[in-house]
Amino acid sequence: MHILVCIKQVPDSAQIRVNPVTQTIMRQGVPTIINPYDLFSLEEALRLRDTFGGEVTVLTMGPPMAADSLRKTLAMGADRAVLLTDRFFAGSDTLATSFALTMAIKKIGAEFGEPDIVFTGKQTIDGDTAQVGPGIAKRLNLLQLTYVAKIVECDPQKREVTIERRAEGGIQVLKTRMPCLIAMLEGTNEVRRGAMKDALRAARSEIVTWNAKAAGIEDLTKCGLKGSPTVVKKVFAPPPRSEKAFQVTRADTAAQEAENLITTLFERQPAIEQDLVKSAAGF
């Protein structure tokens, strides 16, 4: 099997600041990490590789320093890392990003073999749009499985994969054909640390680096700001809440205080009470 994982190097959200004048995220001096959601997809890809054999290729688009994140994935056990970097990609929104990544995936397929499964994280912590994965699936005409909580079964011979997908009101069990795209949820597995031999291999491995031309991208109007119709009007940090959290201070009055709190909640949000009544009645 050939499994491809798309990751993104993102600023550490715990240290992100917003420029009060330009209303844009200040990335200077902010440490970068691998998007946490992508790590669960990488781990799932490595588990499938360990079970059925094959290769895991990791792909990212970003500045040259994104190679550091790719090297970390090699240290975790990935077989190959590809960096898509070019000044033409600067300012890309989800539409332009999915286009560039799609072209790179096609190039990877031509050089290293078509991927049977493309993995992405649920979303990224800097954009939170959850649009790039489905955008890639649409452009590559892949069957897509989003919000996947568990891979139940994978059969490379039949080229089928069965998953559990978290949905509103419960869990869906779906089976689809390969090739497909799977977007994993967080907390679906325990991400490995990587073996010493992989860390040593990562240190001396070459990161495959492509610019737009090398990736086969001829129409640069679909990349970067030119290919990004999204307009960000304003970026701001959420204001602190004026109301403090409710705390129960005495054990002997906890039941009464809890009842008062529920009554207040239903008064403010009557729809919640209606939904609970319907659920209890079996509707």
Rounded CA-CA distance 208/124 in Å is 23
Instruction: Map tokens 């967080």 to a residue.
Output: 186
- Region 170-176: mean pLDDT is 93
Is the pLDDT at 24 greater than 80? The verdict is: no
Instruction: Supply the pLDDT for residue 140.
Output: 96
- Region 20-39: mean pLDDT is 77
Q: pLDDT-based confidence at 231, cuts 50/70/90?
A: confident
Which residues are CB-contacts of 193 (< 8 A; sequence separation ≥ 6)? 76
Q: How far is CA 210 from CA 38, 149, 196, 218, in A?
A: 21, 33, 28, 13
Q: pLDDT-based confidence at 31, cuts 50/70/90?
A: confident
Per residue, the 3-state secondary structure of 8-70, as one string, reads CEEECHHHCEECCCCCCEECCCCCEEECHHHHHHHHHHHHHHHHHCCEEEEEEECCHHHHHHH
CB 149 within 8 A of CB 183: no
Tens digits of residue pLDDT in 95-109: 999 999 999 999 999
* Model confidence, pTM: 0.80
Instruction: Map tokens 């079970």 to a residue.
Output: 51
Of 69, 76, 70, 72, the C-alpha closest to 50 is: 76
Instruction: Supply the pLDDT for residue 246.
Output: 67
Query: How far is residue 27 CA from its own chain's centroid?
Result: 20
From start to end of the chain, where are the E strands?
2-6, 9-11, 17-18, 25-26, 32-34, 55-61, 80-84, 117-121, 143-155, 160-167, 170-177, 180-184, 208-210
